[in-house]
Structure 1
Amino acid sequence: MDTAFREHASALLQFLRRKASPQEAPDLVQEVFARAAGSAQRHSLVNPGGFLRRIAQNLLIDRSRKVHRHGAPEVSFCEERDFVTPPQQEWSMEAADLMSLYEAAVDSMSPKTREVFLMHRVDELTYREIHEHLGISVATVEYHMMKALAHIAQAVDYNR
């Protein structure tokens, strides 16, 4: 059986991968050799490869009959459906963490920079409208926006 295993295991594995699922094939090869080792014919084989292939075919037939008899559906793994933590859940958690970092960064800005930033991003005012509303130059609005964006980027990058 040792010689038969070395000579025929890889061909048997390829055969079973085509006929059954690739994940089950190695286990099925072991089952084939276990059945062959228990066979009374194992000592007088003329064609060991054919003998092993016949055992593999019979094993597949037995498994098919068992599934049909018991009505057990074949269970397969679907990564999108069966993943331990769905990617969307992980992304939602990361988004919540990122939002917390963002809010903390906005809260820690100087009052004037925070006011300019929120007027532009939340109230959707243009730089010119902020300039008119606060009585500061457009260049100063740009300065506060660059300062706010750099502060947020630093806070987010630092905590990740």
Structure 2
Amino acid sequence: MDEKSYRRSVLAFLIPLGALVGVGALLLLFWGATSLWSSFHTDDQIYRESWGLALPQEVTQEYSALSPDRAMGDGWRYTVFQAGEAALYFEELCQGTDFPQEKLRDWAARAEAAEEQLPDFNACRAWSQSQEDGSQLWVLYNPGVERAYFFCMTM
């Protein structure tokens, strides 16, 4: 084999290998950026930025579920927070007694929330907010267990 054909065979091997490595590096970079973005946007930050709810620091997130088919933030989100010392915040926020229980169950199912993480709807008080694009947020609070349940549908 002469030197020219040897170089061609080496290039025929290295060019596709380089392309594969390049694509892999781009995918790794994209995955890293997505993971980094997710780590900086916790559920309480999303509720603050999108809905104007600044949750007290004493609140701790216990559970979260997201719809698997969401895109660019659209879809369903279900979050459970333990109120603890911030119970008064949710007692003052959630004064209503009427809420669409079946619709909220559907939203939780779309977010693939575990059934055991759903609230005792009969023991809850509620608050809701809608946005111009049709997005809705319902917050249910059960004072007996000091938990707040966030049901969010974003368009």
Superposed pair shares fold, TM > 0.5: no
Kindly indicate which of the two structures has a greater share of residues assigned to helix.
1
Kindly indicate which of the two structures has a greater share of residues assigned to strand.
2
Structure with greater Cα Rg: 1
